[in-house]
Structures are given as C-alpha cells and as structure tokens.
Amino acid sequence: MIAISGVAQQQTKELHVAAAADLQPVLPALAHRYEKATGIKLVISYGSSGNLTTQIINGAPMDLFLGADFVFPEKVVAAGLADGTAPTQYARGTLVLWARKDSPLQPITLDSLTDKRVTAVAIANDLRAPYGQAAVAAMKHLKVYDIVKPHLVVAENIAQAAQFVESGNAQLGLISLTAASTPRFKSEGTFVRVPTSSYPPIMQCAVVMAKSNRRSEAHAFLNWLLKPEVQASLVPMGLEPVK
C-alpha cells in the first residue's frame, strides 16, 4: 500500500517549451490557463531566439519552440529538427521606447533618443534577438542610429534590456510592448510606440520538435494558442493576434 503513493503525481504530463524572452510576461498566465483546462504543465525556458535556436540545434530536449520571429524557427526547420515544413505564426510583436516616470526626459518622444542628456539606451542583441534587430532597423530608418550607437547598452535578450532601463542602468529602452504592458512597467514608466513602418514585422513563429515524444500535445497547445478567444487575450499583454 505504501508503494502506491506518488503514482498520481508521476502521471502529470509536461510540455517543455523554449520561449523567446518577450514572452516572459505573457506565458505564465497562458500556461496556468492551459494547465487548468488540460492538466498539461508547461515547463518553460526563456532566452533570446538566437540562443534558443543554438541550444535546440545542439540537442536541447524541447517539445516546442516559440520564437520572436520567423527567421530563427526557420533555422530549426532547415536543420531538419521541426515536425513540419515551415514555422507557424502565433502572434506579432511591437517595439516601444520606454523610460521611467522619474526621468528628466519625460515626457518622452522618439526625439528623446537624440537628446544630448542621453548616455545609455538599452536594446537587445541584434544578432540574437529579433527585437534587437527591430530596434537597429528602426533607428536606421529614423536616421538616428549613428547618433545613438555610441550610447547603446546591449542586453542578451529583450527581457534583460527591459531590466536595464527599469533599473535605471539605461535612461531609455527600446523594448517589447509585452514588457511595457505589465503592471510594474506601467506604474514605473511610460512608453511611445515605434512606428511599425520603421522596422520589419516581428512575426512571432513556432515550431514543434520532430524528435519530441509529445508532438501531439505540442501541436494541441499551438492550436489552442491560435483559438480566437486566446488570440484576443494576447492584446492586453502586448501582442497582436495573427491576422
């Protein structure tokens, strides 16, 4: 009779998800909602899309990869590691410029990037993080990159870039709307949206891993994520639904 204890716990199904850092404010609530509905627990590893792609290609045992763009998930497809021929878009990201409310730069505008008082602007690594790529593209489009470049503080991923500016280690941050939409960032700072015409669309895409023994569960979660009611719930969290 004693040997039977713990069997129910062992039957809990887990889905291992590699998730882009911009999803850190978003996925916990979705994971809780999904587990409550299905009994499947999401075990999530966050990082830049580039670093996660490298880990997956090097054999990291993931069931699903939720990237912040199309390019990095496509690399997983090209490596023959995806259960499919192309990534599936699940959302669209938005880039914003954020500053603390106690900043002397308030009220901020995009012109704040070239304010002479600015000595540190946080962005994500443009080689590994799609939001970093978008930030560089936007600054070049707005013709301010050469002015801002000497002041850039480059973070490993977009979540870290948000931490830099929220902590005051940077005066401005080009961060994700998902971070700026959290209660903490809303209470501590303000943001302006960077015009979407100034950077390539942040098409956030996913792939299911071919070697996963939970492919059906991974596909089921991705299908759930694409349901109209779930897509609609992404908007307050800073993501645009798939059109």
Taking 50 as the pLDDT cut, the residues of the chain under it are: 1-10
- Measured CA to CA, the distance from residue 153 to residue 170 in angstroms comes to 7
The greatest distance separating any two alpha carbons of the chain, rounded to the nearest whole angstrom, comes to 73
pLDDT at 30: 97
At 27-39, the pLDDT tens digits run 999 999 999 999 9
Angle of helix 27-38 versus helix 215-225 axis, rounded to 10: 120
Q: Which CATH class for the 2-92+202-237 domain?
A: alpha beta
193-223 pLDDT, tens per residue?
999 999 999 999 999 999 999 999 999 999 9
What does the alpha-carbon distance between residue 185 and residue 177 come to, in Å, rounded to a whole number? 10
Structure tokens at 239: 């993501």
- What pLDDT is stored for residue 9 in this prediction? 44
- CA-CA distance, 57 to 66, in Å (whole number)? 15
Q: What per-residue confidence (pLDDT) applies to 209?
A: 97
Question: What was the pLDDT predicted at 3?
Answer: 43
- Please give the CATH topology (third level) of the domain spanning 95-198: D-Maltodextrin-Binding Protein; domain 2 (3.40.190)
H helices within the chain, ranges in order? 7-10, 27-38, 49-57, 71-78, 130-141, 145-148, 158-167, 177-180, 183-188, 215-225, 228-234
For the chain, where do the domains classified as CATH 3.40.190.10 start and end? 2-92+202-237, 95-198
The whole-chain average pLDDT of the chain stands at: 94
How many CA atoms are closer than 13 Å to the CA of 192, on its beta-carbon side? 12
Cis peptide before 107 (omega within 30 of 0): yes
Q: How far apart are CA 219 and CA 17, in angstroms?
A: 12
